[in-house]
Amino acid sequence: MLGGAPAEPAGATVRALRRRHRIGLPSEPPRSTGGCRRYDAGDLVRLLRITRSTALGVPLSALPSVPDDPEAAEAPLDGPDREAAAGTERLSARRSARAAPVRHPWPGAL
């Protein structure tokens, strides 16, 4: 793939792709003789991991590099996942409290 072609399948804009290259996520691929970036399948996979991670709440600053190991690439998602799970538990507790029957609507109603 040449130029900004991988941006669309990776769910990013060409501008976002260029910005990510400027900060090193992922490193810029080699260029063709015409000066266009030459992306391979591995580059596209790294771009997809970055896009997925940022969509799930991981800031780019938390992704110093996107390893080729899928399990290691998932590690930055642990924090946002724990936060989401805690938020879900808080909301479930609120819903349960609201659904509980009200036995004494005001103090002294016994």
Per-residue pLDDT band at 90 (split at 50, 70, 90)? very high
| Segment 28-56 mean pLDDT | 81
Per-residue pLDDT band at 106 (split at 50, 70, 90)? low
For residue 82, the domain's CATH number is 1.10.1660
Number of domains in the chain: 1
Whether 83 is covered by a domain: the verdict is yes
Whether 74 is covered by a domain: the verdict is yes
Q: Is residue 11 predicted with pLDDT exceeding 80?
A: no
| pLDDT value at residue 1 | 65
Residue 27 domain boundaries: 14-99
DSSP symbols for the chain: -BTTTTTTTTT--HHHHHHHHHTTSSPPPPB-TTS-BB--HHHHHHHHHHHHHHHTT--GGG-S---S-HHHHHGGGHHHHHHHHHHHHHHHHHHHHHHS--S-SSTT--
| pLDDT value at residue 64 | 66
Residue 90 contacts residue 98 (beta carbons within 8 Å): no
Whether 95 is covered by a domain: the verdict is yes
Whether 94 is covered by a domain: the verdict is yes
pLDDT in tens, 48-82: 888 887 887 777 777 765 556 666 667 777 777 78
Whether 110 is covered by a domain: the verdict is no
Whether 90 is covered by a domain: the verdict is yes
User: Any idea what the Cα angle at residue 5 is, between residues 14 and 57, rounded to 5°?
Assistant: 50
Q: What is the mean pLDDT of the chain?
A: 76
Whether 3 is covered by a domain: the verdict is no
Residue given tokens 């690439």 in the structure block = 73
Whether 79 is covered by a domain: the verdict is yes
